[in-house]
Amino acid sequence: MMTGQTAGVPFSEDKLATCISCGFCLPACPTYAMTGDEKSSPRGRINLMRAIQRGDIDIDSAASRDQSSECLGCRACEPVCPAGVEYGHLLEEWRDNSWKGRRTPAAAALARRGAEFGSAIRWLGRRRGAARTRRPSGTDPRHSLMLGCAERVLFPQVSRAAAHVEPNLDVDDNQGCCGALHAHNGDARRGAELARELGDRLPEVIVTTSGGCSAHLAAILGRDRVLEFSEYLLRRPTETDDLADTRRRLNRLEVDGRPARIGLQDSCHARNALGIIEPPRDLIRAIGEFVEVPGAAGCCGAAGTYSLMRPRESKDILARRVEAVVAAEVDILAVLNPGCYRQMASGLKRAKSRIQVLHVAELAELALSEPQQTTL
Amino acid sequence: MIGRNRSIGRDLRRLLGREAVLDDVATIEAVSRDATPDFSGRPDVVVKPRDTTDVVSVVDYARRRGIPIVPRGAGSNLCAGTVPIRGGIVMSTARMRSIREVAPGEMLAVVEPGVTTAELDESAAAHGLMFAPDPSSRSVATVGGNVATCAGGLRGLKYGNTRHHILGLEVVIGTGEVIRTGGRLAKDVAGYDLTRLMVGSEGTLGVITEVTAALVPKPASSGYGVAYFDDLSAAGAAVDGIITSGIVPATLEFLDSVCISVVEEYAQLGLDTDAGALLLFGDDGHPDAVADTVERMRYLCSASPGAISAVVAPDDRTASALLHARRCSLPALARHGSHTVLEDVSVPRQLIPEAVRRIRAIGHRHDVLIGVFGHAGDGNLHPTVVIDGADSRARERCRLALDEIFRVALDLGGSITGEHGVGAAKLGYLEEQLGSAQVELMRRVKAAFDPCGVMNPGKVGS
């Protein structure tokens, strides 16, 4: 992960130099939309990084710490960047070099430490009813389900649904953390180490139900080893894999005698880092009436530990998303990531909305079961 | 310096309130540059006025104290026009973002300067209208900034540029007075055309606080095609053939052979990398008329000497791939080095092949990669120099090459800038193009608007 970095300075010089300061990232950035201050934009932050790199500003200064934590890390700036700046990488370097030891923000330290309690997470996951170990006759290549740390504890029904929908999926409930929480919270080295350990433990293709984990695993292990769950469900059937054509097995969901209106909240990392845009939409189209919620690509403000670290900003960003989802009059809001799941569900609940939040794996499970009429 | 900074911040907070004034280090760094390489300057403070009254307060304060004011929209300009090279106050229009009115009957819109050009166009589209200027930065650039720089775009031949689509302005000039130029009238010749003077004045005369923009009917459809030629001279002859046949198309864009190969390498669009030039042609309007015009352009290209092939895009997907080829020329080039200078000169349209030939020779002589793309219909070229930014000798060679490119433009009767502006980056070449009498007159014009010399000093008129 740390390739290209020059000794003595925090940032990879070549990656910092890529930015041509065109400002195309400004309209894509949720924090810039919130404040209208250029320092809260990717270009503004890169200018700050450059001042840090030159030694004009201390990386431990209040300005640096404020901006390294105000950024959501959603990477919405990357797909719109004409110069191909690897902003997510620069952000990891920033946090790596400043969130050290006692200077680590409490929420980041908590996340990093929490993810190290593998045995507790495994125990909790089993207690809460997350998917259990199994090794079906399988497919070629083999596909293993990744069980995320937060998801096992908070939303055990997601992995259960995923395993139920695809009986060919291997499950190993003794797996550890993928390291995304470390990488996003100032410890890229440990993050990469954990990803490689998980890559060794789960052979061949890893199927994930979390956008953040997908992007991190793909960055360390290679894109070809990772499939987001909707990508996996919609993949082309192979000769040895007769169950793959999931679309045929899905029933259409109805609400009050009409097709269910289903929106999507994109996962930032799935969309911006891996370019996963259509698969979840196609999956929803197979199940109900897909509704493109305006701004679906914009971060919901969960952003890993962000909602703990910057609660005020997180709430402001969430409020805009909740407003858009409510205005779209959907029955169900599908999500791809446990962080977005928790954030959107709590936001909609606070807004006294009856819109139900479901992970795409749960949505697929619902569409598999008869009868088609569902009550929400 | 620090002392001045503190007192300006304190004074402005007293005038406009705390939330309108920023002088923390992250803010100062963030606005110390725009999209121009090699130019930076730290302001003392950033102020974000809410309305014209706030702008007047700041201008009055600054002129009394002799503090520079640099108006800033999105900071996406390419001539260091928004770099605060002499410090002072950066006046951001980020809080003046209201679309006051779209009047479909009068075919106009009234907006505050911080609205983006894309937002203005979208609100016009809701009434079946459009704002014709379409600079590539339209999603981020502001209307105020586009007016201040007289931004161009890809449809210049048919629709003109920003100056042709502005009916009226409200401006706080350097004396602190508020003037309203032009208005909502289609015909109005009362007095000097100060609207046109303000368009392209780059913040050196005043701060634009409201824009009345002319809108045109949104075309019902568009169509595109692509032609390949042995070299740019052959492409130029085809462009001549199209224009002399009476067609004024919305789109006539070219890529030279360097751009064709880097774009193909970057985006894999299936371009003909053996060709010496690519011409993208297209038009908009009634579907039948578009189909007819695009087919005629295809025929004229294919019948032109030196043509390799010419096809009409059969569907939207193919058409958007073609447009993508043009739009991604800059990013594709930028990936070939850490330092990219996107330049902007314009020459009489028929001299494009000669200009590109000379620019290529300059690239060889100075051993720098130069790709040229641009607007074949209106003579506006974007020679783009790509080097390794860490190599100081390459930077010097780049500087020399650019200097020669400007001389080529002037030698061919062209301009040092077609649509990006003069700013701090090209001020040194202005007199060579315009002559001393005109430059001196511009100084006197500036002095009339801005007697204290506080409006964006070090740029045009200084």
* pLDDT tens by residue, B14-51: 999 999 999 999 999 999 999 998 899 999 999 999 99
Are B179 and B272 members of one domain? no
A134-160 confidence digits (pLDDT tens) = 888 766 778 899 998 889 889 999 999
CATH number at residue B129: 3.30.465.10
A 10 A CB-CB count for B451 gives 12
Cβ <8 Å between A14 and B338:
yes
**Residue B13 exposure: Cα atoms within 13 Å on the Cβ side:** 12
Are B163 and B252 members of one domain? no
The residue count for chain B: 462
A244 residue type, one letter: A
Cβ <8 Å between A63 and B25:
yes
- Please state, in angstroms and rounded to a whole number, the distance separating the CA atoms of residues A12 and B353: 41
Cβ <8 Å between A27 and B139:
yes
Q: How far is A63 from chain B (nearest CA, A)?
A: 6
A 10 A CB-CB count for A289 gives 18
CB pairs under 8 A between A and B: 100
- Please state, in angstroms and rounded to a whole number, the distance separating the CA atoms of residues B86 and B88: 6
Are B156 and B46 members of one domain? no
Edge-to-edge, what's the strand order for the sheet holding A170-171?
Answer: A170-171, A143-145, A205-208, A226-228
Are B322 and B349 members of one domain? no
What torsion, rounded to 10 degrees, do the Cα atoms B251, B255, B261, B262 define?
A: -80
Residue B452 lies in a domain: no
Considering only CB atoms, which chain B residues are within 8 Å of A23? 34-35, 74-76, 137, 140-141
- Burial string for B214-235 (b: 16+ CB within 10 Å, else e) reads bbeebbeebbbbbbbbebbbbb
Residue A4 is predicted with a pLDDT of: 45
Contact B109, B215 (CB under 8 A): yes
Are B319 and B361 members of one domain? no
Cβ <8 Å between B116 and A27:
yes
Domain that holds residue B127: 99-217
Residue B203 is predicted with a pLDDT of: 98
Residue B36 lies in a domain: yes
Considering only CB atoms, which chain A residues are within 8 Å of B32? 47
Residue A315 Cα to chain centre, angstroms: 18
Domains in chain A (CATH in brackets) are 13-98 (1.10.1060.10), 108-246 (no CATH), 247-368 (1.20.1050)
State the complex-level ipTM: 0.91
* Runs of H (alpha helix) within B311-391: 316-327, 329-334, 352-366
The residue count for chain A: 376
pLDDT band at A370 (very low <50, low <70, confident <90, very high): low
- The secondary structure of residue A272, as a DSSP letter, is I
Show the CA angle centred on residue A22, arms to residues A20 and A26, nearest 5°: 125
Are B122 and B156 members of one domain? yes
Q: What are the structure tokens assigned to A50, written together?
A: 């450059």
Element (H, E) at A187: none
Residue B434 lies in a domain: no
Considering only CB atoms, which chain B residues are within 8 Å of A82? 328, 330-331, 334
Q: Give the residue on A whose Cα is nearest the Cα of B76.
A: A22
Task: Choose one of B396, B411, B426: the last residue of a domain.
Answer: B411
Q: What is the mean pLDDT of residues B383-392?
A: 92
Q: Give the residue on B whose Cα is nearest the Cα of A42.
A: B30
Nearest to B142 by CA among B219, B74, B236: B74
Task: Choose one of B290, B312, B330: the last residue of a domain.
Answer: B330
Q: What is the mean pLDDT of residues A109-136?
A: 83
How many structural domains compose chain B? 4
Are B63 and B147 members of one domain? no
Backbone angles phi, psi at A126, to 5 degrees: -65, -45
Burial of residue B160 (CB within 10 Å: 0-12, 13-18, 19+) is middle
CATH number at residue B399: 3.30.70.2740
Backbone angles phi, psi at B207, to 5 degrees: -110, 125
Q: Before A371, cis peptide (omega within 30)?
A: yes
Are B236 and B310 members of one domain? yes
Residue B441 lies in a domain: no
Q: What are the structure tokens assigned to B123, written together?
A: 């609100």
Are B171 and B273 members of one domain? no
Nearest to B160 by CA among B184, B182, B134: B134
Residue B457 lies in a domain: no
Residue A237 is predicted with a pLDDT of: 61
Q: What is the mean pLDDT of residues B4-12?
A: 85
* Residue that wins the pLDDT comparison between A237 and B192: B192
B88 residue type, one letter: G
Contact B347, B374 (CB under 8 A): no
- Please state, in angstroms and rounded to a whole number, the distance separating the CA atoms of residues B288 and B178: 48
pTM here?
0.90
What is chain B's mean pLDDT, rounded?
A: 95
Backbone angles phi, psi at B67, to 5 degrees: -100, 130
Query: Which of B26, B31, B389 is nearest residue A17 as measured by Cβ atoms?
Result: B389
For chain B, the residues whose C-beta falls within 8 A of a C-beta of chain A are 22, 24-27, 29-37, 46, 48, 74-76, 92, 94-95, 116, 137, 139-141, 328, 330-331, 334-335, 338-340, 389-390
Q: What are the structure tokens assigned to A262, written together?
A: 């289903």
B321-345 confidence digits (pLDDT tens) = 998 888 888 889 988 888 899 999 9
Cβ <8 Å between A39 and B26:
yes
pLDDT band at A24 (very low <50, low <70, confident <90, very high): very high
For chain A, the residues whose C-beta falls within 8 A of a C-beta of chain B are 13-14, 17-18, 20-24, 26-27, 36-39, 41, 43-45, 47-48, 50-51, 57, 61, 63-64, 66-67, 82-84
Are B210 and B253 members of one domain? no
CATH number at residue B287: 3.30.70.3450
Cβ <8 Å between B137 and A57:
no
A46-84 confidence digits (pLDDT tens) = 999 999 999 999 999 999 999 999 999 999 999 999 888
Contact B133, B158 (CB under 8 A): no
Nearest to B459 by CA among B153, B65, B86: B86
Q: Give the residue on B whose Cα is nearest the Cα of A45.
A: B30
Task: Choose one of B296, B330, B364: the last residue of a domain.
Answer: B330
Are B393 and B353 members of one domain? yes
Residue B417 lies in a domain: no
Are B85 and B18 members of one domain? yes
Nearest to B377 by CA among B247, B260, B256, B265: B247
